[in-house]
A = this chain, B = another copy of it.
Amino acid sequence: MRTVSENKCFGGVQGVYSHTSEVTGTEMTFGLFLPAEAETRPVPVLWYLSGLTCTHENAMVKAGAQRYAAEAGIALVFPDTSPRGPGVANDEAYDLGQGAGFYVNATEAPWAEHYRMWDYVAEELPRVITATFDIDEERQGITGHSMGGHGALTLAMGLPGRFRSVSAFAPIAQPTRSDWGRKQLTAYLGADEATWLAHDATHLMRETGFDGEVLIDQGGSDQFLDLLRPEALAQAMAARRQPGAFRMQAGYDHSYFFVATFIPDHLAFHAAALTR
């Protein structure tokens, strides 16, 4: 693992690191915020999965999460959103290929060789981080924005027992019924829609739900409401009587200004589950 940068921040350290991933077969970069407490004892960790076009950096510099993570003594991990590099398949569209991994393991050419973001986030990066930093694996939460909210919800429900808490900002809530999903799932997983269901948060909420609290924030003036399909997830949460909250925030759009506004609530939500 190589240190790209380390900056002192709210008494802790905001680091950026890179490593050669066996899962993706590429060099992968991630951000990690460690609060001051990490110097003396294992700390809980909150995963933050980012959206389309983002790298590890966007949320790390725009969401303002570090202050609240520092106050709560929680580490933050910011993975990249796809494999990258000149030898990695890509597409001209912003919503397919590099920057748009959708947190799945691709099975179809030309994507299958490198696009294994489910295994990367679920298996390899946790191993890399816990091998180097003093992270308490028993206390993990996960959140994300847009495509990253999709990833957070599907990983949390798809890996029962892994995460104590899950939240999302404007998640892609039903990709199997959306143009943010059908194109990508066809490309990465093929035409058999049965293989898509493990990657549809609304389907997973209907079938299994989450063993813990769920917090969803959605901007009421989000320019992508028709693609995100939040009402499908909200209805599934209601039908299941899923513990947690789905909040429609009037006037807010899809930007990081929306994320920054509600990140304090999400950190408090995760801290309640992770620091008890």
Query: Interface residues, chain A, CB within 8 Å of chain B?
Result: 7-11, 14, 61-62, 64, 66-67, 219, 221, 251-253, 255-258, 260-261, 264
Instruction: Please tell me if the beta carbons of A252 and B66 are within 8 angstroms of each other in the complex.
Output: no
Instruction: Please tell me if the beta carbons of B264 and A8 are within 8 angstroms of each other in the complex.
Output: no
- Chain B residue, CB-CB nearest to A70: B261
In the bound complex, CA of A253 to CA of B9 (Å): 9
A257 and B7 in contact, given A61-B61, A62-B62 (Cβ under 8 angstroms) = yes
Instruction: Please tell me if the beta carbons of A258 and B9 are within 8 angstroms of each other in the complex.
Output: yes
Instruction: Please tell me if the beta carbons of B221 and A260 are within 8 angstroms of each other in the complex.
Output: no
In the bound complex, CA of A9 to CA of B259 (Å): 9
CB contacts (< 8 Å) of A257 on chain B: these are 7-9, 14, 66
Instruction: Please tell me if the beta carbons of A255 and B67 are within 8 angstroms of each other in the complex.
Output: no
CB contacts (< 8 Å) of A61 on chain B: these are 61-62, 256
Instruction: Please tell me if the beta carbons of A260 and B8 are within 8 angstroms of each other in the complex.
Output: no
Of B7, B64, B251, the contact of A258 (CB 8 Å cutoff): B7
Instruction: Please tell me if the beta carbons of B253 and A7 are within 8 angstroms of each other in the complex.
Output: yes
- Chain B residue, CB-CB nearest to A9: B257
Instruction: Please tell me if the beta carbons of B64 and A255 are within 8 angstroms of each other in the complex.
Output: no
- Chain B residue, CB-CB nearest to A261: B10
In the bound complex, CA of A66 to CA of B11 (Å): 21
In the bound complex, CA of A191 to CA of B92 (Å): 52
Instruction: Please tell me if the beta carbons of A8 and B64 are within 8 angstroms of each other in the complex.
Output: no
Instruction: Please tell me if the beta carbons of A264 and B67 are within 8 angstroms of each other in the complex.
Output: yes
CB contacts (< 8 Å) of A67 on chain B: these are 64, 260-261, 264
* Min distance, Cβ A222 to any Cβ of chain B, angstroms: 11
- Chain B residue, CB-CB nearest to A251: B8
In the bound complex, CA of A258 to CA of B9 (Å): 6
Of A66, A252, A253, A260, the most chain B CB neighbours within 10 A belong to: A260
Of B64, B252, B258, B261, the contact of A260 (CB 8 Å cutoff): B64
